[in-house]
Structure 1
Amino acid sequence: MLSSGRTGRDEIPTAAGELPVVGHLPILYRDAIGLLRRSRSALGPLFWVNFGFAKRRLFYLGSDALDVLRMPEMVTDYPKHLKDVVGRSTTVQDGALHRHMRSAISPSFSPQSLAKGASATMASVISARIDGWLRQESFAIHPAMLELTLEIMLRVCGVPARDLHAWNRAYCELILGVYPIPGRLPGLPAYRSARARAWIDDRLRELLALARGGSAAGSFIELLSNARDDEGEPLSDQEIIDNVRALLLAGHETSASTLAWIVIHLARQSELWSAICEEHTADPDAPVPMSVREAHRFPVSHAIFREIMRLYSPGWFIFRTVTDPITLHGRRIPRNTPLAISLTCLGYDPSLFPDPDRFDLSRWKDRASSPGPLDLAQFGGGPHFCLGYNLAYIEAIQFQFTLVRALRRAGLIPYLRGPSPKQLYLPVGRPTAATRVAFRPG
């Protein structure tokens, strides 16, 4: 949606650093959260950001962002190039259609369902991958995590192991569609993404046909083929394909970033490595956690996961559009205004998290209460809260558990090789691809 950057008679400021044509896109790629924090400090919590090619969006960074996100005047509004990637999945829907799909899909992501099936698959894949890394001199951490998390998601969906390389290549192409670069000529991101989507959808139709024929028992696709919404209505084939494609993309891209940053911090903070090792020494015979309840037995690992998500949330903002006039920070925001809310920035608000740039496990480790909406803000809020939250949480705790046990058995500790990593923000937040990790005796 195009916008002049004005709302009624009030002119709301634009973030500094805007360039012709590409707008803030270069800054967003390398320092999105820095740009948002600097802009909030200089301009207040309401300002325009240009995503390039005249696609401007009004950012709101108030401490009440979660409440704003739940306002009835807000609807999901993903740009067309992103809708081309995720299709008509729950990600981009509101209202009756969203409720239909979400109520049918949610039971497959319940802690009980995960404990019965996906958790064992995750544990097996994680263990095999870590064993492979131990035989390498060093490895690029983020690409390795992308392969790990995609394999987990594909195995859960029933994809044969022999096809993993082709699926990994297809998803690397699919996510190119996230970049708002116009044109669909061969070689351009939109063209390559559309071609990858067609390949993925063809394979998903084959898997769905197998599931409907009873040849994919226990897989996630088989569960969705039998799923019913609150009214007893099934999902259509296209609804299953769109949602599985989107879940595979979001489920592995976001988790890969989170796991990569966990390893990076364990590798560069010796006191953090000591703390997690001490946690495992206290109960050396504990089995790998297979449920949310079992994962809660590891408070250090839990705190590491929470602090990584606070500082390095992969999905750093949410698309919305205003359907009726509202007031934000004393400004009237007219209908049809394209809005963006960065829940990630809540994690850097010093009034909510003192000394926000400091990595501090005590924010989470000594808490007696369960995480609340603010603590889970990186996973969204309201009806669009992340379906895969429980999966991501168990995966992160299992990963830390298995990594520590494997390295301790081998008498090794992780360390970073090469320059200190930085966070990049497009297509999602992630560490620089060149960041390498190795293991040494310790």
Structure 2
Amino acid sequence: MKHWFSDLIAFQRDPLRFFEQHGRAAREPLVPLSMGPYAVMLVADPELIKPIMKAEEAVIDKGKLIFKLREIIGKSSMTLSGEAHRARRAALHHQLARGLATTYVPQIAALARAQAAALACESEFDAHHATSRLTLRVICNILFGPGVLSSGDENALCEAIKLVEDDLAADIFKVLPDLPWVAKRKKARMQSGRDMMMMVVERARKRAASASVLRALEDLDLTSEEMGDEVLLLLLAGHHTTGTAAAWLLWHLARDPALAERLAQEAQSISDAAGELRPDRLPSAPVSLAFTREVLRLYPSAWWLSREVKAPIELGGRKLKPGTSLLISPWHMHRDPRFWASPEEFRLDRKFSGPAYLPFGAGPRACVGMGVGMLELQILALEFASAYELEAADIDVGAPHPSITLVPPPIHLRIRSRVPAASDMPGAA
């Protein structure tokens, strides 16, 4: 017989498998989960996602599960609703869209080339360690201008994330409180991690050039604390989520030399005479786009989303009471055979439209940095494949670790300069 906590142990043991099993076995659009004293529903029908995400805030909005993230990112746009959320989102969207059309491609490409060249001097490297630092430099370039963070700042921010991420993830679905001394240690770690992050944020803001994205936030007349929270969110979301996906991207480049060769040829076909990627050609580069989308399908950094019912509503054939949490799992949606043929296989011939594909969320509150993240991964694939060959040091790697994001396991790779094909050599007929 099921009780309030029937599903909690299975979820805590293996959240990814838990979501997959319950989602695939679903016989109704909403699956009730026994994870505590309040109602929790797993959304099993992708057709419900858009109505949930587009619902009026008075009916369905962010709730207690999302609010727990305030321990780290404060009252930033991820944890806010209403006019404050809309104003910040609009300002960021406008500036990021301008950058996508003008300056981001050469900036990202240059940083990717520099990182690849540095890695080529090492005998072996860990993919996630490398990509997390690369994506941190990219988002800092966009926010503050070039060269704002020192290597020490980069290390401090990455270590602070490691310090708090698992504790925060564990607390989101926690029902019973920790023992007092355990809670005290966790609170101290959380505060230490946030203090380290905010120290880096403040140093970066002081050194920043008149970067457009930072100006857009300053124009909103935010308090110093609000500004710090918003910049911290951008740093974490802009580098941590993209960095985890980028590690898997390098893994697949290393595992599939034929795919890497196709990407190298595509890079050559959309580059100018100086060898620079042409921004206007990237939206119609089919191989790198499909590659990026398939990586995000298999390894969505945001592996769960949540909303909370605020007023009585009928949804998916059920009458839901206020306080009900609605869980959406991109991990499940992206791997359910009802929506994808051979979902565990890595394939570039998929069609990535439809409600069951949501690596950046869905609806009007989808990730504001979606365009930058996609562009960054696409450029990374093209730049690495065109100039270097990657080789996996291990035959296989472990499963990702579901924390706040989907953290890759150790992925050890080797890299060397690519030998040009004969057709690419000067004077080749």
Q: 2:114 aligned with 1:128, yes or no? A: yes
Corresponding residue of 1:399: 380
Give matches, 1:250-399, under 5 Å: 250-282=237-269, 285=272, 287-289=275-277, 291=279, 293-364=280-351, 372=353, 374=355, 377-399=358-380
Aligned pair in 2 of structure 1 residues 281, 99: CA closer, same or farther (>3 Å)?
closer
Shift of 1:306: 0.7
Match of 1:69 among 32, 37, 53: 53
Look up the match of 1:217: 210
Determine the C-alpha separation between the residues in 2 that align with 1:170 and 1:81.
18
CA distance in 2 between counterparts of 1:187 and 1:141 reads 34
CA contact (8 A) 2:334 2:343 kept: yes
Which runs of 5 or more structure 2 residues have no equivalent in the other structure? 172-177, 420-429
TM-score norm. by structure 1 comes to: 0.80
Matched residues in 1 for 2:48 and 2:226: separation?
30
Shift of 1:276: 1.8
Q: Which consecutive unaligned segments of at least 5 residues does structure 1 have? A: 7-13, 229-233, 365-370
Post-superposition offset of 1:174: 4.4
Does residue 47 of the first structure (1) align with residue 31 of the second (2)? Answer: yes
Question: Do 2:270 and 2:277's aligned partners in 1 also have CA atoms closer than 8 Å?
Answer: no
Q: SS of 2:319's equivalent?
A: strand
Comparing 60-69 with 116-125, greater Cα deviation is found at 116-125
CA-CA distance at 1:49 after TM superposition: 4.7
Which deviates more from structure 2 when the two are superposed, residues 127-136 or residues 345-354?
A: 345-354
2:133 to 141, 147, 152: 147
One-letter code aligned to 2:374:
Y
Q: Secondary structure at the match of 1:305?
A: helix
Q: Kindly provide the amino acid, as one letter, of the partner of residue 391 in structure 1.
A: V
TM-score normalised to structure 2 length:
0.82
Counterpart Cα distance in 2 of 1:393 and 1:274: 21
Any conservation in 1 of the 2:391–2:413 contact (CA below 8 Å)?
Answer: yes
RMSD (CA atoms): 3.0
1:76/1:65 Cα in 2 relative to 1: closer, same or farther (>3 Å)? Answer: same
CA distance in 1 between counterparts of 2:381 and 2:53 reads: 32
Instruction: Give 4+ residue runs of structure 1 displaced > 6 Å after superposition.
Output: 53-56
Q: Percent identity?
A: 22
* Matching residue of 1:435: 411
- Report if the CA contact (8 A) 2:267-2:383 is conserved: no
CA distance in 2, matches of 1:81, 1:130: 37
* Partner Cα separation in structure 2 for residue 27 and residue 134 of structure 1: 36
Amino acid at match of 2:81: D
CA contact (8 A) 2:77 2:85 kept: yes
Note if contact 1:290-1:394 (Cα within 8 Å) is conserved in structure 2. no
Q: Secondary structure at the match of 1:274?
A: helix
Give the Cα separation in 1 of the matches to 2:186 and 2:39: 20
SS at structure 2 position matched to 1:362: coil
Q: Report the counterpart of residue 367 of structure 1 in structure 2.
A: none
Which of 136, 139, 160 is residue 149 of structure 2 equivalent to? 160
Contact 2:360–2:370 (CA under 8 A) maintained in structure 1: yes
Indicate yes or no: 2:397 matched with 1:420: yes
Equivalent pairs counted in the alignment come to 399
Contact preservation (8 Å) 1:319, 1:341: yes
**Partners of 1:49 and 1:59 within 8 A in 2:** yes
Deviation, 1:361, is: 0.8
> Which amino acid letter does the alignment assign opposite residue 438 of structure 1?
R
Q: Find 1:37's aligned residue among 6, 20, 33.
A: 20
Cα gap change, 1:195/1:352 in structure 2, threshold over 3 Å: closer, same or farther?
same
Q: 1:121 to 1:428 in 2, by over 3 A?
A: same
Q: Partner of 1:9 in structure 2? A: none
